[in-house]
Amino acid sequence: MADYIGRLGRQELEAKGITGWNWGFADQVRFYELDALNHVNNVVFLKWFETARVRYVQDLGLTSYGPGDPQLVIRHQTADYFAPMHQNESYVVTARTSSIKSSSLVMDYAAYAEGECRASGSAVLVSLEQDGKTRRPHVAEAVARIIEEDGAARG
């Protein structure tokens, strides 16, 4: 699996003044992310958080999303919007797990630009079998790693 373009770790995030996160990626606003008000549409931030989530759970070993591996589905999410973003702006999206149980977890996300947090969010995720219904416990190693790296509370 190719390295994520723009992938940032704790030290690189801290060098940008973004503290409290171990996992992030850098990117830039594209034209198709703007809406008719000429700023990044509110839903696009949730796509950025999804991009972070998908790669984060692959990196940390919760799932590969492949056949035989757990599905991770969203039960609840929130987003707060602090300031608009515009065409070509560079930004960093961060992700971490705040708590994890045997077959669910709670994640936090944020989008930073020019040193300020433009939007943040959270999501409650549930681990399911490929049938999309039955709960499937997390891989123990991934849980241990998430607790160690992110300081996630064991729920």
- Binding-site ranges for a second copy (CB under 8 A): 1-2, 4-6, 26-28, 30-32, 34-39, 41-43, 46-47, 50-51, 54-55, 58, 65, 71, 73-81, 84, 87-90, 132
Using DSSP, state whether 102 is helix, strand or coil: coil
Q: Which is nearer to a second copy, 11 or 75 (CB)?
A: 75
Q: Which is nearer to a second copy, 39 or 145 (CB)?
A: 39
Closest CB 134 distance from a second copy, rounded Å = 14
Using DSSP, state whether 32 is helix, strand or coil: helix
Helix H segments across 6-139? 10-15, 42-60
Q: Which is nearer to a second copy, 83 or 153 (CB)?
A: 83
Find where tokens 């799932």 sit: 63
Closest CB 8 distance from a second copy, rounded Å = 12
Residues in the chain: 155
Closest CB 88 distance from a second copy, rounded Å = 6
Q: Which is nearer to a second copy, 57 or 142 (CB)?
A: 57
Closest CB 3 distance from a second copy, rounded Å = 8
Q: Which is nearer to a second copy, 32 or 148 (CB)?
A: 32
Using DSSP, state whether 111 is helix, strand or coil: strand
- Cβ neighbours of residue 82 closer than 8 Å, sequence gap 6 or more: 116, 117, 118, 119, 120
CA distances from 147 to 40, 45, 56, 141, 153 (A): 33, 26, 14, 10, 7
Closest CB 137 distance from a second copy, rounded Å = 20
